[in-house]
Structure 1
Amino acid sequence: MIIDSHAYCFPPADSPAGHPTAADHLRWVQGGQASHHQPAWRIRDRAPASSDVLAAPGGAMDFDNLPDVNFRVDHDKGRVVWTIDGEDFTKQFYPPNLPHLEYTPHNLLAEMDYAGVDKVLLHVDAMLGRDPAFQAESVAVDPERIYSLAPVDEWRLAGELDAVIAETVAAVEQHGLHAIKFNPPHAYYYRSDPWDGEHLRPFWEAVAALGVPIFFTLGTGPGEASVLQTVESRRRGYLAELDILVRWMERYPDVLCSLTHGFPWRLFLDDDPAGSPSRIELPDEIWAPFANPNLGLEVCFPVRLGDVFDYPYRELWPTLEQMVERIGAERLLWGTDMPFQNRFCTYRQSRRWIEDYCGFLSAEDLAAIMGGTCARVLGLRSRN
């Protein structure tokens, strides 16, 4: 059974999508484009450009002060556009070929059928939408094949704790979503306390009581958005976030959890003097949290490093082998970030680079990575 543990469905980028208004949603999209590493260009001649002009001076949540650049959606071409001094610019954080910047469960199922993917776990992100009802509607299109995480408004926990708890519980108990997505970087927007601290204890107690897995997307700590951060300080920040996760897992020993995207791979590329990275170099301490058997790790490379290494990603094979050796295939979950991985490879290729090229993997390893681990985490029965 092939299960993609990380995919998305989402409504158009200029629709409300669970935000108060369509304009509120579009502000999240603008902020997301500003900080993403995908290149921007001037539409007239495809000359390279910068998307830094989209950023607000006060950081990621400073939506009231986003630059007015007529940020909008080109529905026909399926991309965002902004205008500066009469010139239009764009970038493809979203992959090409998404009219209206929308990706429906029907779009996803068609890709799954073509690539031979049996089941999929939908993830959530505020830039794409924050509506548990939409996630449930996507699942309802084919509930035997589509499962979904529940969104959490982490940034609201600082001032609306009870409301966020109620919404998260309802996403699981009323909308029937299957697990929870938690983004610690969002929890730092309005206070810098560690996200396992006493101020969030009521939230975590309520979440743990739901009995569903939690998928964490760790960042590099409270100062993540600071332009003063260096690569080394961000590495230290990420390792500190892993320490918080260790404490959290000790407090909630019955909760299964997983790290989405794997590690922040771009932070651990080797420092090649020629400026062209050739491999990933991981510090020994990054494996320490996996002493806890409840923690899994996503195998998700093309979407994160497809602009650095080309298919079939030979430079990444040693890292996958290291992951198997250090924590075991039975705790690794194949994920793609579909449809975003289409920026660099096809859905079939996101399978093939592992199944056809990583000869160090046994049949048992492949069965676990490509679906068995995710099925276990979600409590799904294997198909005979």
Structure 2
Amino acid sequence: MELKNNESLKLCRRSFVGGSLAAAATLAASTSTVSAMETKSSTPEGWIDAHVHVWTPDTETYPLGPGFKPANMLPPSFTPEELFAHCKPAGVQRIVLIQMSFYKYDHSYMLAAMKANPGVFSGVALIDHQSADLVDRMDELASSGMRGFRLHSMADTKGGDPKGWVTDPGMAKLWRKAAEDGLAVCPLINPQDIPYVDALCKKFPETKVVVDHFARIGVSGKIESDSLDNLCRMAKYPNTHVKTSAFYALGKKAAPYEDLIPMIKQVCDHFGPERLMWASDCPFQVQDGHTYKASIALIRDRIDFLSASDKQWILKDTAAKVFFA
């Protein structure tokens, strides 16, 4: 999740399925030259970016959800073509797309991007865990290529207050269904919400969990040691993973982001590289002077304690196991 300016906008990522064949065809036509380039779907080479948002200025074909206007789209456009211009030079060939809040419950654009670029994208969706047709919706989204469901810690979304997640019947149904189907639950939470996700992991240890952006530890400008300890205690659940991501928004919030290395080391010491995955959180990583290269370079080039095998896990294999298997 994006953690820069206009925070109220960036804290409401949710959506529902709504893709159409016509929409997919429209995007396929616009990306045909890109999809041919990218990667052979049968040859899983190159790094994986585990967290990216895409959207288009074509709001006639892909209308924005209620409450959103084109002025809310910052930057005005971040299409797959624009993404590839950043990730290809860095050796990234596959990407996990996270539904953009501008579209709310309509997944049309993300699904069209996935259809136009087979083998390149996987997807994570938000879903109303209190809906009567939750199981059917999860099946529908999974059949469209979604490999995870994002939980949102904001009370103004269907995610609600994390304090209520632990006892919510719909949340229990979502976690059980995800475990049965081998899908991931991806909590986007604040540091104070870690205990509630910990409690859910305890109740549903078979569910694959991917905590976004270090649970936002460091957004305040300081790496809060108590919160980091709480996050690391979740390593006792073997199916729980952490995204080492959104470097632009954490700690000093300045490249080369080396102030985040102690946090990465502590998380790696507890979870192991096999349960960590790098992600850029584009397009927000490539704004305000930040670059894609600086994000991936922190893991690839600047951390001496990571072996070549460790980097292979963090930059590719963990995300491949969770989102592309």
TM-score range, shorter chain: 0.7 to 0.9
Query: What residue in structure 2 maps to residue 217 of structure 1?
Result: 188
CA distance in 1, matches of 2:285, 2:183: 27
CA distance in 2, matches of 1:212, 1:136: 17
Distance 1:376 1:129, change over 3 A: same
CA distance in 2, matches of 1:305, 1:365: 22
Distance 1:366 1:193, change over 3 A: closer
1:373 corresponds to which letter in structure 2? T
1:166 corresponds to which letter in structure 2? D
| Cα-to-partner distance string for 1:102-160 (whole Å, 9 max, x where unaligned) | 32222223322222202110012424543233322111122211111123145xx2xxx
Query: What residue in structure 2 maps to residue 94 of structure 1?
Result: 74
Deviation at residue 5 of structure 1 after TM alignment: 0.4
Distance 1:255 1:165, change over 3 A: same
Q: What is the 5 A alignment of 1:20-35? A: 22=64, 24-25=65-66, 27=67, 29=68
Question: Would you say 1:181 and 2:155 are equivalent positions?
Answer: no
CA distance in 2, matches of 1:335, 1:202: 28
2:211 corresponds to which letter in structure 1? L
Q: What is the 5 A alignment of 1:189-268? A: 189=160, 194-200=164-170, 201-219=172-190, 238=192, 241-266=193-218
Distance 1:128 1:303, change over 3 A: farther
Q: What is the 5 A alignment of 1:109-124? A: 109-124=84-99
Deviation at residue 211 of structure 1 after TM alignment: 2.2
- Structure 1, 176-185 or 363-372: larger mean CA deviation: 176-185
Tell me, what secondary structure is at the counterpart of 1:196? helix
Higher relative contact order (CA 8 A, sep 6+): 2
Deviation at residue 184 of structure 1 after TM alignment: 3.7
What runs of 5+ residues in structure 2 fail to find an aligned partner? 1-45
Deviation at residue 168 of structure 1 after TM alignment: 2.9
| Cα-to-partner distance string for 1:239-294 (whole Å, 9 max, x where unaligned) | xx323222322333322111011121235644xxxxxxxxx242133321111111
1:162 corresponds to which letter in structure 2? A
1:106 corresponds to which letter in structure 2? E
Identity of aligned residues (%): 22
CA RMSD of aligned residues (A): 2.7
Q: Choose between structure 1 and 2: higher helix proportion.
A: 2
Contact 1:125/1:151, CA 8 A, preserved across alignment: no
Query: What residue in structure 2 maps to residue 316 of structure 1?
Result: 260
CA distance in 2, matches of 1:375, 1:192: 28
Tell me, what secondary structure is at the counterpart of 2:189? coil
CA distance in 2, matches of 1:152, 1:112: 28
Distance 1:268 1:379, change over 3 A: same
Distance 1:268 1:366, change over 3 A: same
Query: What residue in structure 1 maps to residue 132 of structure 2?
Result: 162
TM-score normalized by structure 1? 0.64
CA distance in 2, matches of 1:141, 1:94: 24
CA distance in 1, matches of 2:270, 2:61: 43
1:116 corresponds to which letter in structure 2? G
Deviation at residue 15 of structure 1 after TM alignment: 5.7
Query: What residue in structure 2 maps to residue 304 of structure 1?
Result: 249
Distance 1:153 1:338, change over 3 A: same
Query: What residue in structure 1 maps to residue 125 of structure 2?
Result: 150
Question: Would you say 1:295 and 2:270 are equivalent positions?
Answer: no
State the number of aligned residues.
Answer: 274
2:47 corresponds to which letter in structure 1? I
CA distance in 2, matches of 1:203, 1:178: 13
Q: Please, which of 296, 308, 312 is the counterpart of residue 363 of structure 1?
A: 308
Contact 1:11/1:129, CA 8 A, preserved across alignment: no
| Cα-to-partner distance string for 1:84-118 (whole Å, 9 max, x where unaligned) | xxxxxxxxx834xxxxx232222223322222202
CA distance in 2, matches of 1:123, 1:153: 16
CA distance in 2, matches of 1:128, 1:360: 41
